[in-house]
Chain A
Amino acid sequence: MRHILSVTVENEPGVLSRVAGLFSGRGFNIESLNVGPTLDPGVSVMTITTEGDEQIIEQIVKQLRKLITVIKVVDLTDLKSVLREMVLLKVNANDANRAEILRTVDIFRCKVVDVSIDELTIEATGNYEKISAIVGLLTRFGVKEVSRSGMVAMKRSIQN
């Protein structure tokens, strides 16, 4: 099962490689990883999407906590949380299909952020499923380039 871990770390050199090395060294799998600063310049938050059965996820969480530079690990999977991913897609566009592409963009409330004669660059945000759906729908027009941000996540204020 896919799990989303929010990992609060000391913002210092090498911390990313400690986390990444832990995953590779122990044969755990990283599906996506996103790092960014927080309001406290000494602290960063990583959002890691990973796969595994219960026992593996338990090990991943404990091994992360064991790293000296890791301050906190929260598994957001079983919590109510806001999950967002952003993707940029460069799609082939011509007079015949442009309208259809724009309609799709509209339905998913995406944005066109760059235009040329034969290409449209589209920005989409949403949860994992929505992003996957958009990518799936647009591929039939010919997607030239995709850049996905990986997940960012936050626990919802009200849990029940």
Chain B
Amino acid sequence: MELSGAQILLECLKREGVEVIFGFPGGAVIDIYNELPNSSLKHVLVRHEQGAIHAADGFARASGKVGCCLVTSGPGATNTVTGIATAYMDSIPVVILTGQVPTPLIGNDAFQEVDIVGITRPCTKHNYLVKDVSQLAHVIRQAFYLARTGRPGPVLVDLPKDVMQKKTKFVWPDDVKMRSYNPNIKPHAGQIKKVAQLIRDAERPIIYAGGGVITSKGHEALTWLAQNLHIPVTATLMGLGCFPGKDKLWLGMLGMHGTYAANMAINNADLVLAVGARFDDRVTGKVSTFAPLATLVHVDIDPTSIQKNVSVHVPLVADCRLALEALKEELTPSLAEYDFETGHLPWVSKVRAWAKEHPLTYKPSETTIKPQSVVETLHELTKGEAVICTEVGQHQMWAAQFYTFNEPNCFLSSGGLGTMGYGFPAAIGAQFARPDKLVIDIAGDGSIQMNIQELATSVCNNLGVKIVILNNGYLGMVRQWQELFYNKNYSSTCMDAQPDFVKLAEAYGATGFRITAPGDLTRVLKQALETPGTVIVDVRVEREENVYPMVPAGASLTDMLLV
């Protein structure tokens, strides 16, 4: 039987295991939308294409599956670019389907034509323009395969309208073979032995974990290694949740807004095991003084990550989970021969002393609500079990610092690109992935306005997403830099003329709360979290609170500004 391109596309999505697709229609994709009602796929109509891509990304992060979105040509496609770059920087598997003008018109500056394959070439793992319907099933198969394997990432498929209309026999390719793509996922046995020996010999080891541990589902092996070999653990923003935050070996995040203990530990360690992390400048500070006493081991599936920013002593190209499991196997017999606990005791005690000396903290207040206390209260009320999404700014850092994460896939934040407007649509995607979980977007008053239109999407789909705005009336993170490094010249960072967020919620059919007094915080937050459906909580917080510790950009990790 012959099927149209649109029918083949939807059949392929189903076979790839797609359950929900976030999208927005238009002329170039009408044929696909025409077929959608005949398919078992759930389509979620967003209110802006940026919402669609972030929702697909949030779905992917919360579920560990490939997220999917569908938009029209031209402006529909360009509206996804920020979200594609966001997913690319954080290695998130998403497949973006864009409409395109009919093939005979391509290159003619046709109505709503844009070269989206050209535009997204540097911010996708790969992208395709499908010129022939007979290639369609093949390309979709490859797109999903590329998105989810190796170092995951966004893959875009551009679909000309006539290709969606043409009919052909549907053949599902049995498997995907690509001569030019064979990610190396198995760790090299010799390197594993070498790393294991370094671990046995180390006196002051530390694990520096990144998002790759979560992507590869390597958290269990990592936790085993840390707990059995008594190695303290720190993580990047992307790695939060890969190790239980309640464990006494947990040091908190490292880097620019990392903890004193984590940054001190990195720079005093004799062995740093970097796993699924990429030595980002926000993590290393001044590269030449990063971990100066340590032998650096770097485990990553992407060879380009290794030796890019920092020259490491022992590279190990592999899937993080497989590498961690191989280390576990290699080191299990050593547990009988070595007393790691006693061996590392002086080091672990030292690290704990640092944590005690300068814990994450803030000056409490009786009169104004401290933003950090909002995050702490959320943690208490949710028993640390919510899925937390964030926007970008100070609130993002406070969420990372003060909500203790115990599980992977529960902290969704734009780490690499730092995209304001990410959190709320991502929360919508996460809620579809995890209907069983409470999903909270910890937002800033600036960022939330970047994709506020998705309130309609959330309300329309009866989603219980809770938005908690840490409202400081400022683009707070930029204001903090202006305060500290630009002579308090608060140029364009004061958000006057804010909307009334409570009324705004109500206008969309959601529920709004406002909290202004510290004494009301716990009670009203609890009430808000228990309110069914989409809720906005406008929490008026201390306006000029700063995020500490802070390593000024380009300084050494140990040069921290403290509370």
Contact = CB atoms under 8 A, between A and B. Distances in A.
Nearest to A18: B121
Given A55-B311, A68-B126, A17 B118 contact: yes
Nearest to A13: B129
Contacts of B121: 14, 17-18, 21
A70 interface: yes
A94 interface: no
Contacts of B126: 68-69
Interface in B266-320: 302-304, 307-308, 311
Contacts of A55: 307, 311
A21 B180 contact: no
B304 A59 contact: yes
Contacts of A66: 302-304
A10 interface: yes
A65 interface: yes
Give chain A's interface secondary structure class: helix
Contacts, number: 38
A66 B126 CA distance: 10
Contacts of A68: 125-126, 146, 178, 180-181
Interface residues of A, number: 20
B308 A59 contact: yes
B381 to A, nearest CB: 44
A13 B132 CA distance: 14
Interface string B174-185: 000011110000
Interface in A43-80: 55, 58-59, 62-63, 65-66, 68-71
B459 interface: no
Nearest to B317: A62
Contacts of B302: 66
A65 B179 CA distance: 12
Contact of A14 (B117, B125, B180, B307): B117
A136 interface: no
A69 B122 CA distance: 14
A111 B354 CA distance: 76
B212 to A, nearest CB: 15
B309 to A, nearest CB: 10
A25 interface: yes
B193 to A, nearest CB: 24
B142 to A, nearest CB: 9
Interface string A20-38: 0110010000000000000
Interface string B56-83: 0000000000000000000000000000
B443 to A, nearest CB: 32
A85 B218 CA distance: 50
Counting chain A CB atoms within 10 Å of each CB, the highest count among B129, B180, B308 belongs to: B180
A21 B125 CA distance: 13
Interface of A: 9-10, 13-14, 17-18, 21-22, 25, 55, 58-59, 62-63, 65-66, 68-71
13 contacts: A17-B121, A21-B122, A22-B122, A25-B122, A55-B311, A58-B307, A59-B307, A59-B308, A62-B304, A68-B126, A68-B181, A69-B180, A71-B179
**4 closest pairs, A vs B, by CB?**
A68-B126, A71-B180, A62-B304, A62-B303
Given A13-B129, A14-B121, 8 more contacts: A9-B180, A10-B180, A14-B117, A14-B118, A21-B121, A59-B307, A66-B302, A68-B125
